[in-house]
Chain A
Amino acid sequence: MAIRRLFIANRGEIAVRVVRSAKALGIETVQAHSEADAEMLAVRLADRAVCIGPAAARHSYLNIDAVVGAARDAGCDAVHPGYGFLAENAAFAEAVEAAGMIFVGPSPDTIRTMGDKAAARAAAIAAGVPVVPGSDGRLADVAAAVEAAEAIGYPVMIKAAAGGGGRGIRVADSADDLRRLVPQAQAEAQAAFGDGGFYLERVVRDARHIEVQIVGDGSRAVHCFERECSLQRRRQKVWEEAPAACLDDATRAELCRSAVALAESVGYRGAGTLEYLYEPATGAFFFIEMNTRIQVEHPVTEMVTGVDLIAEMIRVAGGAPLSLRQEDIRLTGHAVEVRINAEDPANNFMPFPGVVGALSIPEGEGLRFDGMIYEGYAIPPFYDSLLGKLIVHGPDRAAAIDRLAAALRDLRVDGVKTTAPLHVALAADPAVRAGDFHTQFLEPWLAGRSLAAE
């Protein structure tokens, strides 16, 4: 059943993106909004808009009854959840289906399985996808640790079974290290948590965050190659690119093949992303988790493959088979996306809500801006700080970064501070330009710099 009227249960730039793709498919759009979001761009662009509750997200965008009720009352036959909010909430997907509508995404069971780290890891192992090797649960003593480490491979992390947040982690490069460090780790865990239990996990050195975009129709799945998102601050991605410059063709092919195998093994429907850690020194990659939704950084994939991921996820949600064959999906050039957030990079990234003044968005060949702002728009303080994403495409990585630097010079968002000065500095940085970074690169890099606007 093709979708005729779509409810967009999200806000900001992704709501704008979904409204535009749906309209291009000839689908009527009904945009949800909170009381604080009546003036947002997606409300202006959609065919209709419905208020779903007060400013606080838990009373509006996170309120399952309010969202499902509004969608049903508006006569919608499907709900697009965007990202964040209820996008990976299995109970929400169930409620949408129970109300007789289509959830634009995977089945509630898939969301539940892949949203549980242990279940997702088990599914990956069953599909033959490599995961970060570790001991099978707790280890009894030093001898057991040495035996387990032989199978896992050094270096290994010794982690407290009762711990969390990285506390008490020690790294052992050899069996001698392990004999020395395990008793220390046990004693420390006993003191800190009242439980000296420990386990081992392989260290992924200089890990790079690489993720594979897949789309499935419930039986068949294809990949749209990978993205690299290693430049992160406080675990938030700030700069994303496609493809990952650090991979050779054989590794890329094996990585993407593993993602399709896992997606097909769970009968995946819709757009999804499998996240991996990649270790440059060994060329090894390890599955860590799956996001069962569209992602913020999906445009870099669209730029290098020409696939409209939002349109494809809407089509398969309506019951159509995948319109894509794997052999037709080709990589062309290189794309980079940077997140333009309402934050002041010169003041520890302090949020900076305000009213958008004069606005100049660069346009031209190889440029795209997915945004939610217009001149005179008052950015509400109640939600995240993402104003838009500047995406560039070029024949190769160096050309794409040059294009990014030029586009950033032409971008002007008066009235608020944005993260643009961070991206100007990154685009000029020799290590970034050389692709020489990993997930722990950006925070120390930031610590040594002042990022005031020019």
Chain B
Amino acid sequence: MPEIRSPLPGTFYRAAAPGEPPFKKEGDAVAVGDVIGLVEVMKSFMEVKADAAGTIARFLVENEQPVTAGAVLAELEG
């Protein structure tokens, strides 16, 4: 099952700002390069992009939770 991992340690955000809709929901299709979330590291925000295409099966990290570098953020189907 393809996975999307965090490129850096930090705090994971599923939306561009509080109150905004999430970049992607479970069941959404993603293409290579689609932004699925942000990681805040040392006050900078980095986009997390899908490096495989598919459908988001589930997120493994909730919004605003700390993540380590390489942590699996979401799993894709197909």
Residues of A bordering B, CB below 8 Å: 36, 55-56, 342-343, 350-351, 353, 381-385
Indicate if the CB atoms of B42 and A385 lie closer than 8 Å: yes
Indicate if the CB atoms of B42 and A381 lie closer than 8 Å: yes
A394 to chain B, nearest CB (A): 32
Given A55-B66, A382-B66, does the pair A351, B44 have CB atoms closer than 8 Å? yes
10 A-B pairs whose Cβ atoms sit less than 8 Å apart in the complex: A56-B64, A342-B42, A351-B42, A351-B43, A353-B9, A381-B8, A381-B66, A382-B11, A382-B40, A384-B43
**Cβ contacts under 8 Å, B41 to chain A:** 351, 353, 381
Contacts A55-B66, A382-B40 aside, 17 further interface pairs with beta carbons under 8 A come to A36-B66, A343-B42, A351-B41, A351-B42, A351-B44, A353-B8, A353-B10, A353-B42, A381-B10, A381-B11, A381-B40, A382-B42, A382-B66, A383-B42, A384-B43, A385-B42, A385-B43
Complexed CA–CA distance, A382 and B64 (Å): 11
Complexed CA–CA distance, A302 and B10 (Å): 35
A263 to chain B, nearest CB (A): 31
Where chain B touches its partner, the secondary structure class is strand
**Cβ contacts under 8 Å, B8 to chain A:** 351, 353, 381
Interface residues of B in 1-33 (CB under 8 A from A): 8-11
B15 to chain A, nearest CB (A): 16
**Cβ contacts under 8 Å, B66 to chain A:** 36, 55, 381-382
Complexed CA–CA distance, A385 and B8 (Å): 14
**Cβ contacts under 8 Å, A342 to chain B:** 42
For the complex of A and B, the 3 pairs showing the least CB-CB separation, nearest first, are: A351-B42, A381-B9, A385-B42
Complexed CA–CA distance, A381 and B9 (Å): 6
Complexed CA–CA distance, A56 and B41 (Å): 11
Indicate if the CB atoms of A384 and B11 lie closer than 8 Å: no
Closest residue to B10 on the A side, CB-wise? A381
Complexed CA–CA distance, A351 and B40 (Å): 10
**Cβ contacts under 8 Å, A351 to chain B:** 8, 41-44
Where chain A touches its partner, the secondary structure class is loop
Complexed CA–CA distance, A381 and B12 (Å): 11
Number of A-B contacts (CB under 8 A): 37
Other-chain contact of B43, A36, A55, A350, A383 (Cβ < 8 Å): A383
Complexed CA–CA distance, A36 and B41 (Å): 13
Closest residue to B43 on the A side, CB-wise? A384
A344 to chain B, nearest CB (A): 11
Complexed CA–CA distance, A2 and B11 (Å): 41
* Most A CB within 10 A of own CB, among B11, B40, B42: B42
A83 to chain B, nearest CB (A): 14
**Cβ contacts under 8 Å, A55 to chain B:** 11, 66
Complexed CA–CA distance, A92 and B10 (Å): 27
Closest residue to A385 on the B side, CB-wise? B42
B11 to chain A, nearest CB (A): 6
Closest residue to B9 on the A side, CB-wise? A381
Complexed CA–CA distance, A350 and B40 (Å): 12
**Cβ contacts under 8 Å, A381 to chain B:** 8-11, 40-42, 66
Complexed CA–CA distance, A384 and B44 (Å): 9
**Cβ contacts under 8 Å, A36 to chain B:** 66
Complexed CA–CA distance, A385 and B9 (Å): 13
Closest residue to A59 on the B side, CB-wise? B64
Indicate if the CB atoms of B43 and A56 lie closer than 8 Å: no
A139 to chain B, nearest CB (A): 36
* Most B CB within 10 A of own CB, among A55, A350, A351, A383: A351
B51 to chain A, nearest CB (A): 18
Complexed CA–CA distance, A127 and B57 (Å): 65
Closest residue to A54 on the B side, CB-wise? B66
**Cβ contacts under 8 Å, A343 to chain B:** 42
**Cβ contacts under 8 Å, B9 to chain A:** 353, 381
Closest residue to A342 on the B side, CB-wise? B42
B64 to chain A, nearest CB (A): 7
**Cβ contacts under 8 Å, A383 to chain B:** 42-43
**Cβ contacts under 8 Å, B42 to chain A:** 342-343, 351, 353, 381-385
A85 to chain B, nearest CB (A): 12
**Cβ contacts under 8 Å, A382 to chain B:** 10-11, 40, 42, 66
Interface residues of B in 48-78 (CB under 8 A from A): 64, 66
**Cβ contacts under 8 Å, B64 to chain A:** 56
B32 to chain A, nearest CB (A): 22
**Cβ contacts under 8 Å, A56 to chain B:** 11, 64
Closest residue to A58 on the B side, CB-wise? B64
Closest residue to A386 on the B side, CB-wise? B42
A61 to chain B, nearest CB (A): 13
**Cβ contacts under 8 Å, B43 to chain A:** 351, 383-385
B68 to chain A, nearest CB (A): 9
B19 to chain A, nearest CB (A): 15
Complexed CA–CA distance, A324 and B9 (Å): 46
Complexed CA–CA distance, A351 and B9 (Å): 10
